[in-house]
Structure 1
């Protein structure tokens, strides 16, 4: 594997760890019943749905919550139900991903 490609892969892995840590730390500070929005300006599954899946696996008190207003937004549902993707063609943005969590008691 060329050096440039290896470096890109390492940076991507580090970014995913950072995103997961930010999401986890923010959720840790959330009160039961509170909401937390995870949003990126990325279109990659690794930085979006994969981070959400890993976070849900590691945080049993986290639940995805529907974003009712999203039905009126220029976006499409993400690969995971209750997540949303804004792609350049649909939304005329550079691209976004949005997921909303709540903390529940188990």
Structure 2
């Protein structure tokens, strides 16, 4: 039985993110995007991932400043809320793999 479904979703999401990032070459990029508006599935996952991966950096998303969105709770992340973007809402972050 799952006590906290959100915690379970976060663990699955982090596992998928780790696996995808592991497959990148140095200099490669990975976009993390959810259709969620929760901090737990967005900024919390990004912060947790960055703490566990010293070779991961958030990258600027070209053109994002022209999108109908707002900056996320972490620099270089973006939130699309229904009011601003006329969408159901989502979150976007871009990671780059750097040499350590």
Task: Give the structure-2-normalised TM-score.
Answer: 0.96
TM-aligned CA distance change 1:49 to 1:9, over 3 Å: farther
| Residue 71 of structure 1 pairs with residue 62 of structure 2 | no
Moved over 2 A (4+): none
Match of 1:26 in 2: 20
SS of residue matched to 2:93: strand
Structure-1-length-normalised TM-score:
0.91
How far the C-alpha of 1:8 sits from its partner, in A, is 8.5
- Name stretches of at least 5 consecutive residues in structure 1 with no aligned partner: 1-6
Gaps of 5+ in 2: none
Q: What CA deviation, in whole Å up to 9, does each residue of 1:16-43 have, x standing for no partner?
A: 0001111110000000000000000000
**Structure with the higher fraction of residues in helix conformation:** 1
Q: How many residues align?
A: 100
CA RMSD of aligned residues (A): 1.3
Q: Is the 8 A contact 2:2 2:8 kept in 1?
A: no
